[in-house]
Structure 1
Amino acid sequence: MPALTKAQKKLAQAAEDSFNRTYAVQFGEERWQQTLYPALAAPTRYAALINRFAVADVGAVFSQEQAARLQTIRFLTDSDLSDPKPLMSFQWDVSEAEATFPLPQSDSSSGLMTHWNLDAASLLVVSVLDPRPGNKVFDICAAPGGKSVALSQFLRPDNYDGTSPTFKGGCLHSNEVNAGRNKRLASNLQSYLPEALFKTGEVKVLKLDGTQPFSLQTLPHGPGGYDKVLLDAPCSSERHVIHAHVKAKQSGRLADEMTSWRSGQSKKMAKIQVALLMTALKAIRVGGHVLYATCSLSNDENDSVIEKGMELVQKERKKLGIKWNFAVRSGDLAAKGLAEWAEPTQHGWLVLPDHPSGGKWGPLFFALLEKVEA
């Protein structure tokens, strides 16, 4: 591989300096350089979500030696949650490498995949949304499907015995507009969830453009027909940029992810995110909840999107006469011990891998919103 030219090195350094400068301003120079950037550059830590449609406990997935290195992750719980089982099916390995987890495999009896490896912060946001049996749930940006699989565990919290895999009147509608990602989403959900759920229509894979207002009319339950919406919005994914940059730098290459990064791209991404947020809010009933989440570090894609959503709703109330608004309920979560996971922001919470708890999860921003009567 030819050595980098001076011009290429200069380009790479300028992009890296701009990237670091942007986030040093947001998080403080000392924290960014000494703890946060190194934590983001470290390998991603994974949790294992046990698929209880396939297996009843970790003993069916992990060896005794592996199980001995596992601990149960305790997520947020409500006092009226009579069955805490779904909160106990998430396990994490004490070591940091994904390689320490067994790869998901097909269970011999059910034919379904045994578990899904993902960042525990992703499981945290599902527990915050708190779907219950009977809820109609819409996962608006669902690919590749890990959070949808997690949602399904809450909609049917008891272990599956191979009969009547019902959501008790609820549903899970998982959406992805990109054709390739939609195909992967459908394949993954079919690998993890019983076929009967698809036959009854309790689980559907949709292919709607959530940024377009007309998509609401094509939702199976229509506008206002859902109890909970998970919006894990597409974002700048700075940790991916950092990982690509570190890997390329070690081998004397340039990472396109870093050299093409620009400080203004978050504001462009935010336009997509706001459009998706408006669709999510219109999809739920009054009293329903939207969980907005990104894996971005940028305020432009996080708190600012919530603020822009507030502005647009007020405009539509005046112009179109809509009879609803939304309230931010993120602050209500503080009493449930969320500070053990994340740090508060203006409208939500931010999970970062340099959190004092040592969990090394994230990054993930999330805000819990409730649709209310105006």
Structure 2
Amino acid sequence: MPGLTKAQLRLVEAAEHSFDRIYAAQYGEERWRNSLRPALLRNTRYAMLVNRYQAAEIPSGGLFTDDDKRKLQTIDLLFPLPVGKGSYNSAGNPQQLRLLAYKRGDLTDPSQPVSIDEPFPVPQVTTNPDGSRELMAHWNLDAASLLPVRLLNPMPGDKVLDLCAAPGGKSIALAQLLRPPTMDDLDAPSLAGGCLHSNEVDPARHKRLAANLEAYLPPALLRSGEVKALELDGADPLSITSLPLVRAGGYDKVLLDAPCSSERHVLHAHARARQAGKVQATLLLNALRAVRVGGRAVYATCSLRDEENDGVIERGLGLVQKDKKKLGIKWDVAVRRSAGAEEETWLEGWAERTKHGWVVLPDHPGGGQWGPLFFSVLEKIPA
């Protein structure tokens, strides 16, 4: 490593060895060394979420040539869901998120070289002759990051809180599912009565979140308050319980994409993963406080570590039990791995089961090379 002193190099090597010990113990020495670690060190694979409010199929404006378009494949995020209140099935849900990725070779064959994905074009700001700006046409992301959005199952009429929303990719996806697909008049208020509150406490990140919402969503959604950027401390129960919708009974759906220490870039930087489970468990408890009884919360992280994934679910459930004894709350929490056998079969094509949820890892035998991403679905039920 050029530019490092011998002492600095020793610290970096020690951190890398510690990192390897942690994950070799968790995932097994053979898998970590031969499969998972090499997969994490490859270039991140990205997909493109097409903005429903700007483009119907593939963003135009010269971003993609006809040859580019032939290389694209649709990523199917429309898994089976049971018919009934709070759910909708594939036949009755034309609000499929439009997600595209470049086609890949056979990643399941180790004898085949792994190709590096071509980068997607950066979203462009288009200014009209009258000086107004077009909405951004797409958002680049890891396709697995939209699985928590799908498992949250937002529908027109739902009141949704994205508790740790910056920079805003998941909020933009959520907003695409909260209006009926036949509603063409984007300046009209939503007849369904739903809303999306996207929260970020850090001032700089909140500013970026608000700017992204304005860049991707019709102005009417923001003017009417149908979509709103909040700046609350998600770890502070007083901030959460002060929200009018929480005082009125709670949100229908809450997404907690928790900040984590073990993001993929940590491995590339040879940095040590730090345990942050206590903060995450507090955030999870507040997410559960914010959702109504009968509602759903999805917890997600980009962490590899059990302590920040299943461990946080267990700590959060423990905090709920303490509140029941200390405060006499009248609700409980149930972990819902999925909505049924069909959905589990679909998820197995993306992820592997954990104790309380699922984890997407880039060495998954399906060959998608997505992740890492952990998610768990929780339902708030009467005590």
* TM-score > 0.5 by shorter chain: yes
Is residue 107–residue 114 contact of structure 1 (8 Å, CA) maintained in 2?
no
Mapping 1:21-170, distance limit 5 Å: 21-58=21-58, 60=60, 62-75=64-77, 76-80=79-83, 81=89, 82-95=91-104, 99-106=118-125, 111-158=134-181, 160-164=184-188, 166=190, 168-170=192-194
Deviations 1:332-368 (CA, angstroms, capped at 9, x unpaired)? 4553111000000000000000000000000000000
Query: In terms of mean alpha carbon deviation, does 107-116 or 62-71 score higher?
Result: 107-116
1:342 counterpart = 2:366: no
1:242 counterpart = 2:251: no
Give the superposition deviation at 1:62.
3.6
Unaligned runs of 5+ in 1: 246-257
Query: In terms of mean alpha carbon deviation, does 49-58 or 163-172 score higher?
Result: 163-172
> Size of the alignment, in residue pairs?
356
Is residue 59–residue 138 contact of structure 2 (8 Å, CA) maintained in 1?
no
Q: 1:117 to 1:167 in 2, by over 3 A?
A: farther
User: 3-state DSSP class of the match of 1:123?
Assistant: helix
Name the CA distance, whole Å, in 2 between partners of 1:108 and 1:79.
Answer: 43
- Which position in structure 2 is the counterpart of 1:296? 303
Is residue 187–residue 220 contact of structure 2 (8 Å, CA) maintained in 1?
no
| Coordinate RMSD, CA, aligned | 2.0
**Aligned partner letter, 1:310:** L
Name the CA distance, whole Å, in 2 between partners of 1:37 and 1:97.
Answer: 17
**Aligned partner letter, 1:213:** P
User: 3-state DSSP class of the match of 1:113?
Assistant: coil
1:228 counterpart = 2:257: no
Deviations 1:274-315 (CA, angstroms, capped at 9, x unpaired)? 111011001011110000000001110110111111111111
- Which position in structure 2 is the counterpart of 1:253? none
Is residue 233–residue 294 contact of structure 1 (8 Å, CA) maintained in 2?
yes
Q: Normalised by the size of structure 2, how large is the TM-score?
A: 0.88
Q: 1:367 to 1:2 in 2, by over 3 A?
A: closer
Deviations 1:150-176 (CA, angstroms, capped at 9, x unpaired)? 001111252645442626200000000
Q: 1:158 to 1:20 in 2, by over 3 A?
A: same
Give the superposition deviation at 1:9.
2.4
Name the CA distance, whole Å, in 1 between partners of 2:96 and 2:166.
Answer: 23
Is residue 54–residue 107 contact of structure 1 (8 Å, CA) maintained in 2?
no
Name the CA distance, whole Å, in 2 between partners of 1:36 and 1:275.
Answer: 30
- Which position in structure 1 is the counterpart of 2:279? 272
- Which position in structure 2 is the counterpart of 1:357? 366
Q: Normalised by the size of structure 1, how large is the TM-score?
A: 0.90
Give the superposition deviation at 1:237.
2.8
Q: 1:6 to 1:106 in 2, by over 3 A?
A: closer
**Aligned partner letter, 2:152:** L
Unaligned runs of 5+ in 2: 84-88, 105-114
Q: 1:217 aligns with which of 238, 241, 245?
A: 241
Name the CA distance, whole Å, in 1 between partners of 2:200 and 2:164.
Answer: 5
Name the CA distance, whole Å, in 2 between partners of 1:238 and 1:187.
Answer: 24
Is residue 155–residue 167 contact of structure 1 (8 Å, CA) maintained in 2?
no
Is residue 59–residue 67 contact of structure 1 (8 Å, CA) maintained in 2?
no
Name the CA distance, whole Å, in 2 between partners of 1:216 and 1:3.
Answer: 46
Name the CA distance, whole Å, in 1 between partners of 2:295 and 2:5.
Answer: 56
User: 3-state DSSP class of the match of 1:9?
Assistant: helix
Give the superposition deviation at 1:87.
2.4
Deviations 1:201-257 (CA, angstroms, capped at 9, x unpaired)? 111100000111101233241243200000000001341111234xxxxxxxxxxxx
**Identity rate, percent:** 56
